[in-house]
Structure 1
Amino acid sequence: MELEELQPAFDRKVECIYCKNKFTTKKLRAQFVKVTEYDTDFRPQYESDHANPLFYNIFVCPECGFSFSEDFTKTFAPGTKKQIEEKIASKWTKHDYSGERTIIDALNTYKLAGYCATLKKEKHITTAGIYMRLAWLYRQKKDDEQEIRFLKLARKEYLESYSTEDFKGTQVTEIRLLYLTGELSVRIGDMATATKYFSMVIEKQKQAVETKLVEMARERWQEIRDRQTAK
């Protein structure tokens, strides 16, 4: 009897945080995921398009359509469940995202999650992460217009997160948030904001643990200055 070949994706059980329905979704085995390099906004580039864990970050409940990631909080603000019922669950045509996903499937799941995050009044830092990953997927598709659209939305949410401080207690540090705001500003062509936020990162270098981020911010700041003086 031959041993069955290990597949990159396996089934994991998830419970919908909205309707409590239990369903399965795919997750990739770590040994199949190989990052070749990172872009300056931390987008990981993978050795294989077929082993891209970004495709599976979002859980889509096949029963109610509520879509979420592990970063979503379990609690719902007053009135938000009613909004989700009216705008998502009552209109949902059962669709199963439990199999292996294409990039189009992945884009659809993130868009659903972005809508759900907005209705749920999820933390800005979480919503920003969804939009950022949408931008990354569009970059993979070489769709510049859509990439810019979602980078702008991500930056808006990062700015909100910084002003409300809802990033505190998450994996995103203040320095990382400031750096990302600067980096996304460069990518959408807003050099004034980029310079401001990179400068804020550099100013924090004495208390920074993430020295690599300070170095990256300094390099990006210098690139902007060089570009401006060359004009």
Structure 2
Amino acid sequence: MSNLFSGLEEFGLNNLSNINIYEDSEKSAGEEAKKSQQNTFSEEDIIYDRSYTCPVCNKDFKAKTVKVGKLKLQSLDTDLRPKYQLADPLKYDAILCPNCGYAALNRFFNHITGSQADLIKKNISVKYKHVEESENIYTYDTAIARHKMALINSIVKKAKLSEKAYTCLKTAWVIRGKRETLPEDTPNYKETVEKLLQEEKEFISNAYEGFSEAYMKEEFPMCGMDVNTITLLVAELARKVGKYDECSRWISKILISKEASERIKEKAREIKEMLKEGM
């Protein structure tokens, strides 16, 4: 190929004489845009203090919440955990009242009966000590603590199986987020990663147990998911905790279902392949 830029050497541009006019122009532009976005992004810019009224103590408070539409979905893990570019909004899903200690995932926070509120007051509020959260964003440690508070509350108020299972699942996701972003120069890095893996697996196991039982006892949709999505989720949770026979059984439910979409069936086949490979 002839050199289109021959003759520019006199301008001192001989090192650019073999440049390709169109080579990776879109790729380069995309990489530059991504790099620029990373350099200018601040998690503080996508969150705000939202006002809540606690349904247990009736006091007003504020909790950090992610602004709608500010993050782009990047991918889904096999257990349906959404992963976003630049930040993890899952950290902000547990709402905790600083006055009485009532906590729940956002979708469940206002759905509490009078008798459940009494259980919270008698078993949590009388003992609760507020821990000041001074950071401008929620760290993973703060987020994990808030999710565990939500789980304790769900147990105390005798919540539905599905709420407890979903809270376990969301807690596992936040723990996974911490593990995946843990700096490698963290003291005792390998030991910390292993500890987080085991803790995540424990919550996954409890999520599997809860959803399996809720499937038999509760109505759908469940936690915003239809029967086929829950079936797919339970199959993957079973695989993650080593219950391979149960995983196969749940996958079969999807593959023979006339109501399951092709998208759901394709994901079930992917789990089946991972099962064969012993992943």
108-117 vs 21-30, which moves further: 21-30
Instruction: Write the deviation string for residues 109-154 of structure 1: whole angstroms up to 9, x where unpaired.
Output: 0000001011112222222221111111222233210010000011
Partner Cα separation in structure 2 for residue 201 and residue 18 of structure 1: 40
User: Residue 268 of structure 2: which of 217, 220, 223 is its match?
Assistant: 217
User: Residue 138 of structure 1: which of 164, 175, 184 is its match?
Assistant: 175
**1:94/1:138 Cα in 2 relative to 1: closer, same or farther (>3 Å)?**
closer
Computing the radius of gyration over CA atoms, which structure comes out larger, 1 or 2? 2
- Alignment of structure 1 residues 110-129 onto 2, 5 Å: 110-129=147-166
TM-score by length of structure 1 reads 0.86
Q: Which amino acid aligns with 1:9?
A: I
TM-score by length of structure 2 reads 0.72
Give the gaps of 5 or more residues in structure 2: 1-41, 180-195
User: Residue 87 of structure 1: which of 123, 126, 138 is its match?
Assistant: 123
Q: Which amino acid aligns with 1:44?
A: P
Partner Cα separation in structure 2 for residue 119 and residue 212 of structure 1: 38
The ranges of structure 1 where at least 4 consecutive aligned residues each deviate by more than 4 angstroms after the TM superposition are 96-99
User: Residue 249 of structure 2: which of 196, 203, 208 is its match?
Assistant: 196
- Alignment of structure 1 residues 26-65 onto 2, 5 Å: 26-48=64-86, 51-65=87-101
Question: Partner residue of 2:259?
Answer: 207
Partner Cα separation in structure 2 for residue 225 and residue 199 of structure 1: 14
Alignment RMSD: 2.3
Question: Partner residue of 2:104?
Answer: 68
Question: Partner residue of 1:164?
Answer: 217
Q: Which amino acid aligns with 1:196?
A: R
Question: Partner residue of 1:15?
Answer: 53
Q: Which amino acid aligns with 2:272?
A: W
Contact 1:182–1:198 at 8 Å: present in 2 too?
yes
Give the gaps of 5 or more residues in structure 1: none
Give the aligned length.
Answer: 219
Instruction: Write the deviation string for residues 178-219 of structure 1: whole angstroms up to 9, x where unpaired.
Output: 111100011111101100001111111x222x3211111122
Partner Cα separation in structure 2 for residue 96 and residue 167 of structure 1: 38
